Amino acid sequence: MNRMSGPDTIAALAGPKCLYVDSSALEHNAREVKKVLGSRVKLLAVVKGDGYGVGGVEAARVFVSAGADYLGVSSVPEGVELRKAGIRAPVLVMNPILKEECVTAIEHDLEVAVASRQGVFDIADASRRVGRVARIHLEIETGLGRTGLPVGTVAGVLEELRSQEGVRLCGVFTHMAEAHRDEASFRQFARFQAALRHVPPGLLRHVANSGTFLRFPDMRLDMVRIGTLLYGQLPFGIRNAALSLKSVWDFRARVLFIHDVGPGDTIGYGGDYSARRPMRIAVVSAGYSDGFGLTAVSRPKDLGDLARYIVKMVLSYLGKGRGEGGAVRFECGVAPVVGRIGMQLTMVDVTGLPVSVGDEASVSIRPTAGARLPRVYLRDGAPYLIRMPWGEMRPVEYEKSIDVE
Ligand SMILES: *Cc1c(COP(=O)(O)O)cnc(C)c1O
């Protein structure tokens, strides 16, 4: 029995809540994408935003071992974090960087996107100061309306690059706005193709994010930049994919306290939930600091919307329905939230459920919100690594040998 890597160890190390991240699922998803790509098209695994919330460093390690050729981040500090963790794969910083960051980028062997003529001068200048070649990818703006060189300026910037010795052009790319729409995608791709007429051969040409990769095989070119699919999600506007993706994360929070209330008792801040019957209330260690309950408050758009809203309120008045705050899921059943969700604590109705203090509930969040949550990494269902809220990585095996004496 591997007691030390069981739930007791997790609680002892990580506290009452953590984001479980299934590294086997990350690896599976990367291999699924690789299978479709074959050996000719490279995979850039996007690990920006702390690996879409699951932890950028560990996600990067898993993707590289599953065959990713490149890693993509959005800023220089994210790239530096990968290098400090000993990751040596090519890393592309996909967003424009500041002049002040150019030296750091070159020193850490990060490839950078350049999206303006000034960007060429800044990186060339830094390359002279560091005494090392800077590797860049030119970004071309084709319709997202965000960053990149207008198609008409590409020839001039390439001309400029020829006279900058310290700068090596490695790739050229654009980013798609609406991969779920045909016409907009074709229009962007055609603009990109037009810009490519000025570009010398032998560069990495890359366009496709998850949605584009799925819907337009012709747009995969030399490399695809995939995030969403690797994390087991489908891109916006796409309902199914010819890939078998596995879900990657599960946020679990423990019950810290249980109490009984009677009719007329109020629950939570503001006193705006009033019990109508005897209830058993569990207090769960999750709140809006973890990204729980952060759904936008919206105003009904039309009468239909208003009617739905009223039905929900009536159901909630009658003690039926899920309530506005959502619900958490125990192994033995679903418990609706009652009262306001707090920063760190949430009350749920467990009347009739055999829930005890210390039990774990699954809580649905976007992991990008819970930046300070511990991440517990699982391989084949067993924990092997914990990232503590302060960033320290603790192998679970290591803990085992300490606790055994
Ligand atoms: C985030 C991002 C991607 C990945 O997009 P997904 O839709 O998550 O696959 C690709 N390229 C760039 C430039 C990005 O910023």
Rounded Cα distance, 287 and 46, in Å: 28
Q: Has 288 been annotated as catalytic?
A: no
Rounded Cα distance, 25 and 372, in Å: 22
Tell me, yes or no, whether 140 lies in a domain: yes
How many domains are contained in the chain? Answer: 2
Q: Are residues 208 and 260 in the same domain?
A: no
Phi/psi at 76 (5° precision): -60, -45
In CATH, what number is assigned to the domain containing residue 393? 2.40.37.10
One-letter identity of residue 326: G
Tell me, yes or no, whether 18 lies in a domain: no
Looking at ligand 1, which atom is closest to the CA of residue 139?
Answer: 13
Q: Which residues pair with 73 in a beta bridge?
A: 93
- What six digits make up the tokens of 107? 């020193």
Tell me, yes or no, whether 7 lies in a domain: no
Who lines ligand 1 at CB under 6 A?
46, 48, 94, 175, 209-211, 225-228, 235
**Which residue has 């055999």 as its token pair?**
354
Expressed in angstroms and rounded, the spacing between residue 24 Cα and the centre of ligand 1 is 22
Q: Are residues 256 and 292 in the same domain?
A: yes
Q: Are residues 88 and 53 in the same domain?
A: yes
Rounded Cα distance, 219 and 186, in Å: 9
Q: Which residues pair with 255 in a beta bridge?
A: 284
Tell me, yes or no, whether 244 lies in a domain: no
Residue having the nearest C-alpha atom to atom 5 of ligand 1: 209
Q: Are residues 89 and 141 in the same domain?
A: yes
Q: Which of 29, 225, 248, 366 to mutate to test the pocket of ligand 1 (most atoms within 8 A of CB)?
A: 225
Q: How far apart are the first and last CA of the chain?
A: 16
Q: Which residues pair with 112 in a beta bridge?
A: 93, 136
Selecting among 35, 84, 246, 269, the annotated active-site residue is 269
Q: With both helix axes pointing from N to C terminus, report the angle between 396-403 and 7-14 in degrees, rounded to the nearest 10.
A: 100
Q: Has 48 been annotated as catalytic?
A: yes
Selecting among 17, 34, 42, 48, the annotated active-site residue is 48
Residue having the nearest C-alpha atom to atom 3 of ligand 1: 209
Contacts of 162 (CB under 8 A, 6+ apart): none
Q: What is the pLDDT along the chain (405 residues), one digit of tens a residue?
A: 334 456 778 888 899 999 999 999 999 999 999 999 999 999 999 999 999 999 999 999 999 999 999 999 999 999 999 999 999 999 999 999 999 999 999 999 999 999 999 999 999 999 999 999 999 999 999 999 999 999 999 999 999 999 999 999 999 999 999 998 999 999 999 999 999 999 999 999 999 999 999 999 999 999 999 999 999 999 988 887 789 999 999 999 999 999 999 999 999 999 989 999 999 999 999 999 898 886 655 677 788 888 888 887 787 777 665 555 589 999 999 999 999 999 999 999 999 999 999 999 999 888 777 888 999 999 999 999 999 999 999 998 745 444 443
Q: What is the pTM of this model?
A: 0.89
Question: What is the extent of the structural domain holding 297?
Answer: 249-398
Q: Are residues 202 and 261 in the same domain?
A: no
Q: Which of 175, 231, 368 to mutate to test the pocket of ligand 1 (most atoms within 8 A of CB)?
A: 175
